[in-house]
Structure 1
Amino acid sequence: MDQSEFGQFVAALWERQGWQTQVKNDDGRTFVAVQRPNGGEEGLLWAIPDGEVGGQQVQQFAKLCQQYEVSESAIVTAGTVSDHAEKVSQGSGVELLDGEGVARILKQKEWTDLAEEYGDGGANAEAETGGATSDGDGSPLDQLRAVGDRLGSKLSAALGGTSVPAKPAVAVVLVVALLAAGVLSGVSIPFLGGGGGPVSAESVSPANSTTTLSVAWNARVTDTIDPDESDGKAYPAPRGKQFVLVKMRINNTGDAKTPLKKSAFKLRTANRTYGHQPLAEHEGFIDFPISPNQRYVGWLAFAVPEGSSGTLIYDQNATGTPVTVEFTRDSSIDVNVSQR
């Protein structure tokens, strides 16, 4: 695919997830502005058809998205992602999806028709406007164009000097071949369903609750957790599984002290509910009684099957004390393994 075709392909991929899209070209770069219907959350994608995405590109794109307060952001490429880019992306809010990841998505969702359509250069005029139609002021497309104009202004200045290293393109025909071979498995589409990853949360409010915990949280999926880069120790996910790292800022907004236990926070997938995954020599969450107006920051890791989606829940039985828990996703929280 050339630059324009790949941008339209990425837009079509997000449309399949229920987003409205608009492709924007800026000085040889292609961006896709996305928005949930009815004025919902907004996102910006940088579509790079080939080469290797580097850490500098991630840093510059993250700066741009922070400048315009974009709630969701991702770099999507048919090429590869450097180790430095992966490292920089952690906690930056920018998710990365490489060529193999795109292939896995197409296989899992049975959307290989997209690769065939755009790989053959079959992009049509409808794709250029994200499949939406304009019927005057206030239509979905008109609203989306306004979003695109706002997010797209000053792109050249914000990303000045960025270039994509010249490396052989990963052709879509290779993607299709990998799919046919059946060698690729589970991956998550960045901010599928909104909210920055394949994780949601479920607030609870028992009738006899004695206090309220306000939990701001964010999450990301990773294959390895490295709490201390200086000690040479890292924790790879078990075979066939991935880590879901959840960072939480907890505030007791009630009038009573209540036990705060890591065992109460669990991740529920379609098949089962998982407790946190202990990591030897490293604790991201400490059990203690949290007082009214007291705040606490902690993180938990859950090991779940690759490709799983999950819901963060609070188990009332873990403490024996009924508590109202209000979960709010905050995409500005850096999902790292510090207590800041």
Structure 2
Amino acid sequence: MTRLVELEPTKFVHFLSDLWTQRNWQTNAQPRGEGRYLVQGQRGDGTKGLMLVLPSVETTVGTGHVKGFVAHAKKRGIDTVVVATQGEFDDSVRGFATNHDVTLLDREELGETVADEGLEQTVKQYTDGDVFETAEVEFGLPFDLPEPVEEALASLPIAALRERLAGLTGGGGDGGDSSGDSLRDRLPSSVDDLKSGSPPSVRVVVVAVLLLVLALGSVAALGPMVDGLGGSSGGGSGVAVSALSGASTDSADLVARWNARTADSLQVGNQTYAAPEGERFVVVGLNATAASGSPGNLPQSALVFESDGVSYGHQPLSNATGFDNGALFAPGESTHVWTVFAVPTNATTGTVLVQPTNEDTVAFVHDDTVSTDPNGDD
């Protein structure tokens, strides 16, 4: 079974949030203490989702971890209830989940989802390029094969296949994608090497490629399939936006209710601002409320928008700002502010978050009634 690589705990939460935004959920992720996180989701049709995330690989999730969470979710009328972990689920939890209509996600289930839906690029935002844990197996084939299979192997043009895979890099060593070279280097240099088990450790992907060549009958038939690998250019009219909290609503210095939209241009008063060429705007409106004890601090520069592994600061607009109050928010009072980010036109998802250097923690709560119009209500 395909298994997702291990991610850092916060990156695992961020990945799961992205996974939901790609399914047209608006999401919020909040820490809940003891290494747990909640990801809340809502769709435009009113469907509600709630995900409990235990990101540690050392965790074995038992019924004690989930019973209270599931009862809370059912009481709130949540439509989609999910528990996710990078650790393991014990058998009692799997039985409990089946009886209570709860979806369980571990790295094996997530790995299958990523492979089936072509979401490798989403994972690569949070890793050094690896997506799956591929078990290495000692390739000790005895190779007492039936004569037709032996002849088919002998006729395999492995040298040509290696050359074909090398061509995927488009030049390789100049900083381009090295996935083609990586796959090529895993192939044996000859059928004799494959049969003798040299190199002694061969990845399962090598076997799959060679068997596919046998099934198709020629390297040429492999060409269109390999050329088609990779991410798509995206689609749809807007960017699916999520937000990542730095604290729970109970403990945060500020709670920011937020909403977002995508636009090619922005009207502020009598001035129209067009997005830079090759980019479009993501406009974010926030109703921020500081805790009752003291003013909250959140400068516009602390807000960033992360998409495809790249962080974007706010887009300055000449003679216009959505933070007239500077960085301070009065205790207990809700203040409306807005900001805008310029992102590539092919961006399909992104996450609003606060830089860790900011003095105060912020909890985001999505609210589609919050205005994203710089001139007032939408």
Normalising by structure 1, we get a TM-score of 0.40
Normalising by structure 2, we get a TM-score of 0.36
Q: Say which one has the larger Rg.
A: 2
